[in-house]
Amino acid sequence: QWGLQTNWLGKQIIHKATTNSTQQVAHQAARENAEHGTVIIADEQTEGKGRMERHWHSPKNKGIWMSLILRPPIPPAAAPQLTLLTATVLADVITEYTTASPNIKWPNDLLIRDKKTAGILTEMQAEQDRIKYVVAGIGINVNHSYDNFPSEISNKATSLKLETGQDLQVVPIIQHILRCFERSYDAFIRDGFSTIKNKWESYGYKIGEAIKIRTNHEILEATFTGIAEDGALLVHTDSDGTRKMYSGEIEWFRK
């Protein structure tokens, strides 16, 4: 069973063999007053959701598909910091648990050797200045072989197994994630984002390098200098000096 060493996270676990999306299950449960720390896990998702309305391919027993219901006492504007927190936790767990060296591509992608291994989808329900709940969705490609990926993404996606040659059990990884997440979340709620910033930067992809960022209205070329105290992306351009970016995507470019 669950050798789960947490105080509050995962005290309620909803496990589904198959579901459309653990995000949807989590939203429904949260609307029905599921408690802070409820975890939804599926072996397979038929309509896994990624950021920007993308599909998240979630084949049976190949990965970790889970959503955490959180009720954080923080303002809605700080919720994106939870994405960075989650990414840092996943990077730590992958580092401790496998031989791979992950990077975090701002804001929410985990890469190993430039290929995407995991993604995070943080969704929030807020009213005025109060968060009702946050659903932190975590998808990790664990045991995929090459032909488990659809051809459109096979050149930019990977799995822990493909990168390390290790056959990994998902249950201990899930337990480890929940334990690290709880510790990191408790520190964040107590002492703020400064508890995460340095660690995030130590995993940061392309820090110090030229990047292109696509936002809704522009593609900006700039040097990625780090993240701000509030989790924003810090970039520098010769024309504008330092800028803070709160949304957008770093363009994908392979070496």
Minimum Å gap between C-beta 54 and ligand BTN is 6
The C-alpha atoms of residue 214 and residue 251 are separated, in whole angstroms, by: 6
Minimum Å gap between C-beta 43 and ligand BTN is 12
57/199 with CB nearer ligand BTN: 57
Tell me if the bond preceding 102 is cis, omega within 30° of 0: no
Which of the residues 127 through 166 are near ligand BTN (CB under 6 A)?
A: 137-139
Minimum Å gap between C-beta 4 and ligand BTN is 18
68/196 with CB nearer ligand BTN: 68
* Binding-site size, ligand BTN (CB under 6 A): 22
Stretch that binds ligand BTN, among 17-25, 97-105, 147-155, 234-242 (CB under 6 A): 17-25
The C-alpha atoms of residue 77 and residue 232 are separated, in whole angstroms, by: 11
The C-alpha atoms of residue 21 and residue 24 are separated, in whole angstroms, by: 5
Helical H segments across 32-169, by residue range? 80-97, 160-164
| Per CB under 6 A, 21 contacts ligand BTN | yes
The C-alpha atoms of residue 173 and residue 100 are separated, in whole angstroms, by: 14
Which string of x and - marks every residue 63-102 that binds ligand BTN (by CB under 6 A)? --xxx-----------------------------------
| Per CB under 6 A, 22 contacts ligand BTN | yes
Q: Which residues pair with 226 in a beta bridge?
A: 234
User: DSSP code of 79?
Assistant: T
| Per CB under 6 A, 48 contacts ligand BTN | yes
Contact by Cβ (8 Å): 120, 138: yes
Nearest Cα residue to 9 out of 169, 136, 113: 136
| Per CB under 6 A, 23 contacts ligand BTN | yes
**CA–centroid distance for 55 within its chain:** 15
| Per CB under 6 A, 109 contacts ligand BTN | yes
| Per CB under 6 A, 184 contacts ligand BTN | no
201/249 with CB nearer ligand BTN: 249
Q: Which residue is nearest to ligand BTN (CB)?
A: 119
| Per CB under 6 A, 106 contacts ligand BTN | no
Tokens of 87: 């990414």
State the CB neighbour count (10 A cutoff) for residue 183: 15
Which string of x and - marks every residue 26-45 that binds ligand BTN (by CB under 6 A)? -------------------x
* Greatest Cα pair distance in the chain: 57
| 219: enclosing H helix or E strand | strand 219-227
> Which residues here bind ligand BTN, judged by CB under 6 A?
21-23, 45, 48-51, 54, 56, 58, 65-67, 108-109, 119-121, 137-139
